[in-house]
Amino acid sequence: MVRIFYYIYTMTIDNALLRFKTSLNAAKELGDSKVANVFDWSFLCVSPVEEYLQISNFNTDVNFGGDYKAELVDCCDKVLKDITSNVFIYQGSNSESGYQNIAVEIAYIGDFYPNWGRKCYLKISHWAGGEPVSDLVIYSNPFHVAYNLKEVLRIDYRGYGMNNGVDYTNFNFMQSFGLKGFYSNLINNTQSEEYQQAPTQSGAVGVTISSEQNTSYARRFILLNATDYALTKLIGWCGSPRFYIEGTRYTSNQVVVGERQGNSNFYDGEIIGKPNELDIHQRGLQIAPLLSFSPIYPVGVYTLAGLLPTIQGQFNYPITLGVGNLYVRKVSDGSIVNTFTQSDIVVTDNSFEINQAAADENGEYYITFDESLFSFPFGQSEYVVDWEFSIADGDYDDDDYESDDYFTN
């Protein structure tokens, strides 16, 4: 008997603000008005000093297997900046469509000179060891790396279960991105009701009394140069169970769309929502691994003669040398036996080295250093340093044997 298995895939619409296509030409197709001859794609934008996350939902399997190269490219596929070290990918399956999809975290792009404010695309290729692994490549829709950070309006949002095409059970992340816009003004929605007091037993006429006010207000945010594609997606995400603007939760959100600006592809618009000041979203990296430290040398047990004149350690992210000291301390009482300043340290990528011996006498030691000695990308600063070593005499003294002694089996 032959068994035939059928795999059913459901076509879904990718509602991501930053959605991906398998070719650059397809990524450029955003449904702009056919009569538009003035174009601007600056509405979707990111700050170079913040982190963002988007969950894809396109109708094809995407599996990089942890091997990829991420680049910002222009409309001609010219590389503007390699940001592989700033992009982190989570692989998962959409239970509704059946396709393998990804969540992409962009963390602190950093300096983008001279391309600030320039339209760019995020290109992710299947890449390892300096060469392509396969022909898999995806391109995002265009966005800008902003240079005027006052006009970057950050939104964070998420649902639960299946919501707006995203499988939050398998992709348990808060999504986020930047919009070109700013806070405008407060809208007073306070209401006051009046009621009449019942007549008294003596027959007095009821008196009209004002009740306490039902205080309520909303905030208006102005959206600049919003495209048709971005607005249609934003309208859906504003209704997410959890929606935050600049870290504060907003409910009863409404997207107001203005008239198209002349023969352009963009509109001005507004988001109006009621703030919940008690619900503040604490941002942070979600896919990128936590900062960690690993001692390289010295670790374990050495003799004085066998201890090399070097101290080496490494992190899992590139580091920048700051100002501070590294200390070698005694395990017995924590006293400092050696101090090395930043001028003694050489940093290479994610590692550092001091070309001197850690200690010069027998004992048990551990190594610490000031928090200010190194700085890290992505605003991370918490890590554990567990670095111990010891120096002891060898098994035999120098005078235990004569030079003409010999051994036999």
Q: Is residue 31 part of a domain?
A: yes
| Range of the structural domain that residue 386 is part of | 293-391
Query: Does residue 274 share a domain with residue 299?
Result: no
Tokens read off for 222? 């102005």
Supply 315's token pair: 């992190």
Residue 362 lies in a domain: yes
Q: Is the dihedral of CA 10, 13, 17, 22 positive or negative?
A: positive
Closest residue by Cα to residue 300 from 363, 389, 393, 392: 389
Q: Mapping DSSP to helix (H, G, I), strand (E, B) and coil, where does residue 55 land?
A: strand
Q: Residues 45, 180: one domain?
A: yes
The answer to the question of residue 249 being in a domain is yes
| Domain count of the fold of the chain | 2
Instruction: Give a yes or no: residue 330 inside a domain.
Output: yes
311 and 220 fall within a common domain: no
Domain C-terminal end among 225, 247, 280: 280
Residue 127: its H or E element: strand 119-128
Question: Over its length of 409 residues, how does the chain's per-residue pLDDT go in tens digits?
Answer: 444 444 444 556 789 999 999 999 999 999 888 888 899 999 999 999 899 999 998 788 899 999 999 999 999 999 999 999 999 999 999 988 889 999 999 998 888 888 888 899 999 999 998 899 999 999 999 999 998 899 999 999 999 999 999 999 999 999 999 999 999 999 998 776 666 555 655 555 556 565 666 778 999 999 999 999 999 999 999 999 999 999 999 999 999 999 888 899 999 899 999 999 999 999 989 999 989 999 999 999 999 999 999 999 999 988 999 999 999 999 999 999 999 999 999 999 999 999 999 999 999 999 999 999 999 887 777 899 999 999 998 765 555 555 565 544 4
Q: Are residues 95 and 132 in the same domain?
A: yes
**3 part of a folded domain:** no
- Same domain, yes or no: 238 and 107: yes
Q: Which residue has the tokens 């700050």?
A: 47
Say yes or no: 232 and 336 in one domain: no
Residues 304 and 255 in one domain: no
- 126 domain-assigned: yes
351 shares a domain with 264:
no
**Is 287 inside a domain boundary?**
no
Distance CA 349, CA 318 (A): 5
